[in-house]
Structure 1
Amino acid sequence: MAPPQKSDQQVAAEFTSYYLQRATKEFAEDLDKVRSADDFKNDALQIIVSALQQGTTMFSPEEQRRIVTAAARPANKA
């Protein structure tokens, strides 16, 4: 029996979380440099998160669903 279909909102939320995890991992060094800059203020953190979240708009709802579904699958063992 197949699991119930997730709503578009659920998929979008899961995709955003997945995307942010991947982006922060990929840009970890750069983000650390920004955070350690002398002129960095804590309120800038929300701006950075918002900027990273905007990257999710590059993906259609169908692509987001495909990525979320693929990310949820356990890795195949050969």
Structure 2
Amino acid sequence: MAPPQKSDEEVAAEFTSYYLQRATKEFAEDLDKVRAADDFKNDALQMLVSALQQGTVLFSPEEQRRIVMASNHPAPKF
């Protein structure tokens, strides 16, 4: 029996979470430098997260669905 299909909203939410996890991991050193800057304020954190989220618009709904489904079913390790 096939698992139930996820709604577009569920896929978009999962993709955004996945994308932010990957982006923060990939740019960890750069993000640490930004956060350590003298002029970085706590209210800038939300703006930084929002800026990172903007990258999700580069992916079509079909690409987001494919990526979410692939990330939920990782390749087997040998």
Q: Structure 1 unaligned runs (5+)?
A: none
Give the C-alpha shift of residue 74 in structure 1.
3.3
The 4+ residue runs of structure 1 with deviation greater than 3 A are none
Alignment map for 1:1-78 (pairs within 5 Å): 1-78=1-78
TM-score normalized by structure 2? 0.96
Give the paired residue count: 78
| RMSD value, Cα | 0.8
TM-score normalized by structure 1? 0.96
User: 1:30 and 1:76 mapped to 2: Cα distance?
Assistant: 32
Identical aligned residues as a percent: 83
Q: Structure 2 unaligned runs (5+)?
A: none
AA aligned to 1:24 is T
